Amino acid sequence: MEVASRNTARLEQELGELLERERFDPPEEFAANALVRDESLHEEAARDPEAWWAKLARELEWFTEPAQVLDASNPPFFKWFADGKLNASVNCIDRHIEAGLGGRVAYHWRGEEGEERDVTYADLHRDVQRLANVLKDRGVGPGDVVGIYLPMIPEVAVAMLACARIGAPHNVVFGGFSPEAVKERMQFSEAKALITADAARRKGKTAPVKPAVDGFLGEVPSIETVIVVRNTGADVEMKEGRDLFYDEAIEAADPECPPEELDAEHPLYILYSSGSTAKPKGILHTTGGYLTGVAWTTKYVFDLKPESDVFWCSADVGWVTGHSYIVYGPLMNGVTSVMYEGAPDYPDKDIWWELCARYGVTVFYTAPTAIRACIKWGAEYPARHDLSKLRLLGTVGEPINPKAWLWYWKVIGGGRCPIVDTWWQTETGHIMITTLPGAQFAKPGSGGRPLPGIEAAVLDENGNEVTGRQGLLALRRPWPGMLRTLYRDDERYVETYFSKFGKETYFVGDAARVDDDGYFWVIGRVDDVINVSGHRLSTAEVESAVVSHPKVAECAVIGQADEDTGQSICAFVTLEGDLEGSDELVEEIREHVAQRIGKLARPKRIVWSDDLPKTRSGKIMRRLLRDIAEGRELGDVTTLRDPDVVKRLDELVKERAREGED
């Protein structure tokens, strides 16, 4: 115990000293072997961005090579490589089979209870074709949406690629979302089939999935087929004519399914993400441009050499990070990845490091929130394992505080691995701002510079560029991997991203600053989106879930700074009539939100409030609520309908805080 605390104190001191260091150059050995060692790619792309992207696109496998590059004739509806034809599954699998690499492991999969499965490219080739045929036999064809609601098991990648093979856009819903949220996403997208599991495992427990899905299928009449992966073997009811077991169906299916030759602009997938209203946005990605950007960034940002590297992106496949950097990016590059079913602290807090050692992970990509959790658990967990194979680390999802960056660098990377802090969004499809690790130095807390071909800027409200101070992040040039629209809602697409600075400049929704080195420092969201543990949630969506509780009259939700999760959800709640708040009611409301959206959306804190601060026109003043929640001096309250409301609330919250301290 004493030794442990001495070690902790020494580490603290070392990290404290490192805080002084502003830049971290690529280590010599890393740079000597890196794919990119200088600025030449940035320069090449700057000279002719379209030629740059066209060159990258040619690295994909096409049925018909595109002659066109960017079609900007109808902004902001940009098209890329529109006269080319290709198939994503061919790029992820067939090309490697043809190159004789079928025996290479695509995924070292590890189950929660320690089970292991090595899935090769040949395995994927076989199962993807068979599942594609099952879907085809059930009448699913190009353009039909297929929902996927699966845990982190290899079948999720097979399902996505089977959809891609036949041109059916997939709509993956994160396994942590509630059935209610799945239902909504299936309804919005009018999914024709759903691929799901009997049950999911989480930290030693089993949660029924198929029965939960059965609960809503009656309300989604578009779903004609449900394919059920037997994950735990739990007993489930199967509806004749609609439901099929995955294993039986692929066993009986024709083993060959020639890929559809699809237009580059054919939709590859829809992925719902939170926006500033209660209705999630169906972000639509198409094929050729998306694959071009994802393939390139996977290889060059992570400096991947497929023959020797083992890559692990610890995200869930249900988020865009999983789509791009667990499935499409690594597979297109013929890389071996790790996929882990469980939580980072199950069966123990060292499981990630155990797996890194076991599979010889060389490049590891995770979220700052996970790093902060690891810091809390202590450096003794990674110390139990040999992490010497690691050579590059990455982060994504939210700004990383320099202290967490340094801990990651020192404790996980042993001071020898560069860190790439990658900024991007569901909408951008792939990494946009980061450092190329063999060529550029890193600064803890900053993402770095826009990648070649990407033009980012920080603008003021009027669209003028600002340097050295905070402004609004914008992307001033279309890029191939960008979203094409919001599914069936072109108007919201234009309004959300292209109304602030015009139809040529993409409005990101983040505040940022650029420094003298041209390094971007992303500060956080400027809209009503909360980033909890790197997961995007809309205040309006959580509010509408809270308000749907019968005892709640009104609610305002804000994101509050949180040491562990970056931001956490704080809900100010006014109850019906003269109902009184209680601890039981807090739990009831949290559970209600879990059922409506998912556990990740549960408010961490609920503040009972007789009334909410509103402007004279009735708009809730979230800025003031944020000040109250974070204990800041209250700003201007003169525009409020009833300034007393906010003062009473402020006093109440301060009183609670004092009670908490006592």
Q: Kindly list the residues in this chain that would bind ligand PRX in the complex (CB under 6 A).
A: 273, 320-321, 396-399, 421-426, 447, 509-510, 522, 525, 531, 536
Structure tokens at 602: 């549960």
Distance between CA atoms of 12 and 477, rounded to whole angstroms? 43
Structure tokens at 425: 């969004």
Angle at 275 (CA atoms; ends 574, 155), nearest 5 degrees:
115
Q: Which is nearer to ligand PRX, 81 or 319 (CB)?
A: 319
Q: Which is nearer to ligand PRX, 540 or 652 (CB)?
A: 540
Distance between CA atoms of 581 and 40, rounded to whole angstroms? 62
Distance between CA atoms of 133 and 331, rounded to whole angstroms? 21
Q: Among the residues of 336-428, which ranges form H helices?
A: 351-359, 368-377, 380-383, 402-407
Q: How far is the CB of 473 from ligand PRX (least distance, A)?
A: 8
Q: How far is the CB of 614 from ligand PRX (least distance, A)?
A: 27
Q: Which of 634, 528, 628, 618 is nearest to 572 (CA)?
A: 628
Q: Which is nearer to ligand PRX, 398 or 650 (CB)?
A: 398
Q: How far is the CB of 533 from ligand PRX (least distance, A)?
A: 11
Q: Which is nearer to ligand PRX, 515 or 576 (CB)?
A: 515
3-state secondary structure of 362: coil
Contact in structure between 138 and 153 (CB atoms under 8 Å)? no
Q: Which is nearer to ligand PRX, 106 or 367 (CB)?
A: 367
Q: How far is the CB of 658 from ligand PRX (least distance, A)?
A: 33
Angle at 557 (CA atoms; ends 422, 369), nearest 5 degrees:
30
Contact in structure between 120 and 103 (CB atoms under 8 Å)? yes
Q: Which is nearer to ligand PRX, 87 or 297 (CB)?
A: 297
Instruction: Tally Cβ neighbours within 10 Å of residue 344.
Output: 18
Q: Which is nearer to ligand PRX, 183 or 525 (CB)?
A: 525
Q: How far is the CB of 525 from ligand PRX (least distance, A)?
A: 5
Structure tokens at 200: 């999911």
Contact in structure between 474 and 508 (CB atoms under 8 Å)? yes
Q: How far is the CB of 423 from ligand PRX (least distance, A)?
A: 4
Q: Which is nearer to ligand PRX, 93 or 283 (CB)?
A: 283
3-state secondary structure of 323: helix
Q: Which is nearer to ligand PRX, 156 or 530 (CB)?
A: 530
**DSSP-assigned letters across all residues of 244-286:** EEHHHHHHHS-S--PPP-EETTSEEEEEEE--SSSSPEEEEEE
Q: How far is the CB of 398 from ligand PRX (least distance, A)?
A: 5
How does DSSP classify residue 519?
A: -
Using Cβ positions, the residue closest to ligand PRX within the complex turns out to be 426
**Single-letter amino acid, residue 511:** A
Q: Which is nearer to ligand PRX, 138 or 536 (CB)?
A: 536
Instruction: Tally Cβ neighbours within 10 Å of residue 11.
Output: 17
Q: Is the peptide bond between 76 and the residue preceding it cis, with omega within 30 degrees of 0?
A: yes
Q: How far is the CB of 537 from ligand PRX (least distance, A)?
A: 9
Q: How far is the CB of 613 from ligand PRX (least distance, A)?
A: 26
Name beta bridge partners: 556. Answer: 572
Q: Which is nearer to ligand PRX, 154 or 397 (CB)?
A: 397
Q: How far is the CB of 440 from ligand PRX (least distance, A)?
A: 15
Instruction: Tally Cβ neighbours within 10 Å of residue 378.
Output: 15
Distance between CA atoms of 370 and 294, rounded to whole angstroms? 23
Q: Which is nearer to ligand PRX, 208 or 429 (CB)?
A: 429
Tokens 């042993």 label which residue? 414
Q: How far is the CB of 389 from ligand PRX (least distance, A)?
A: 24
Instruction: Tally Cβ neighbours within 10 Å of residue 122.
Output: 16
Q: How far is the CB of 320 from ligand PRX (least distance, A)?
A: 5
3-state secondary structure of 573: strand
Q: How far is the CB of 483 from ligand PRX (least distance, A)?
A: 10
Q: Which is nearer to ligand PRX, 223 or 532 (CB)?
A: 532
Tokens 């499809």 label which residue? 429
How does DSSP classify residue 25?
A: P
**450 Cβ neighbours under 8 A, 6+ residues apart:** 432, 433, 456, 520
